[in-house]
Amino acid sequence: MNETTKRTKRRRNWKKPASFIAFVGPAFLAFVAIVLIPFFNGIYYSFTDWNGVTGELNFVGLDNYHRLFFEDEQFRASFWITTKYTLVSVLLTNIVGFSLALLLTMNIKTRNFLRTIFFMPNLIGGLILGFIWQFIYVKGFASIGALTGWSLFELPWLGDAQTAFWGIVIVAIWQGGGYVMVIYIAALQNVPTDLMEAARIDGANRLKMLRHITLPMIMPSITICLFLTISWSFKVFDTNLSLTNGGPFKSTEMLALNIYTESFVNNNYGLGSAKAVIFFLVVAAITVTQVYVTKKREVEA
């Protein structure tokens, strides 16, 4: 091997790591600065009594975590209402999104227009969406109830704990249903038509084809949609803040809003950081378990 060939080979060997660093390096530095450093700072602050304003802080050990589990009733109440909201919202959002996807993969002339209409709510920011629906619940429903006399529209939608909870759920489904619909449509379009035709010739009805062919074939999309909706539901903040602000009497205060209030309203950043750490561990454990279980179903399919 001559000297020119050796130099060319050395340059090629250097080009690969240099290209990798050039493309990945800036993104990695941004990730470290925006995600990793604040994350580990938050863990550190969870063991202190810092108020988030002054530079004075004291190490208090596990006192913040002790307060969470044994003294902070509102945190436990927020954890329960968030869990309840997540179960209902994840189930209904996926059912609505999948149903819309089934409908809009049929031979309907206006299906492209309808796909756009159903996806559009996802483009509206959560704060704006909350204020829009607050107006609908308070003014719009009251006007419809006065005109029609229907008791459904005369309910205190944001003034009662039960109806306020369902008011947030309705907004979540309205916003997220169109997004998961797009994912399900992409999956349904990839189901082999010859397989469906063979099942139809063999006498399988729509329900059997849905259960034994369609659902197993789109399990990867179900995994993604479940992961996304669980993450959205646990971390809901903007619509909770703008729609009810945790009311009435903190009956709809989700975990993210509870952490925000503790840290930036009550100026108890140490305790708020401890809540955020517990929140992170719970969400991570649930999402990892969900992905593991649904991935196993993909393998079986």
* Predicted local distance difference test score (pLDDT) of residue 11: 59
HSE, side-chain direction, 13 A CA sphere, residue 51: 7
pLDDT tens string 79-131: 999 999 999 999 999 999 999 999 999 888 888 999 999 999 988 888 888 89
Report the chain's C-alpha Rg in angstroms: 25
pLDDT tens string 136-177: 998 999 899 888 888 888 888 898 888 999 999 999 999 999
CB 258 within 8 A of CB 247: no
> What b/e string do you get for 213-245 counting C-beta neighbours within 10 Å, with b at 16 or more?
bbeebbbbbbbbbbbbbbbbbbebebbbbbbbb
Pairwise CA distance, residues 301 & 297, whole Å: 6
Q: Say which range, 55-59, 111-115, 164-168, 294-298, has the weakest mean pLDDT.
A: 294-298
pTM summary value: 0.88
How deeply is 20 buried, as exposed, middle or buried, from its count of CB atoms within 10 A (0-12, 13-18, 19+)?
A: exposed
Q: Could you give the percent of the chain with pLDDT greater than 70?
A: 94
In this structure, is the dihedral angle defined by the CA atoms of residues 108, 109, 111 and 112, taken in order, positive or negative?
positive
**What's the fold here for domain 72-300?**
MetI-like fold (1.10.3720)
CB 247 within 8 A of CB 156: no
Please give the structure tokens belonging to residue 117: 């209409």
pLDDT tens string 252-275: 999 999 999 999 999 999 999 999
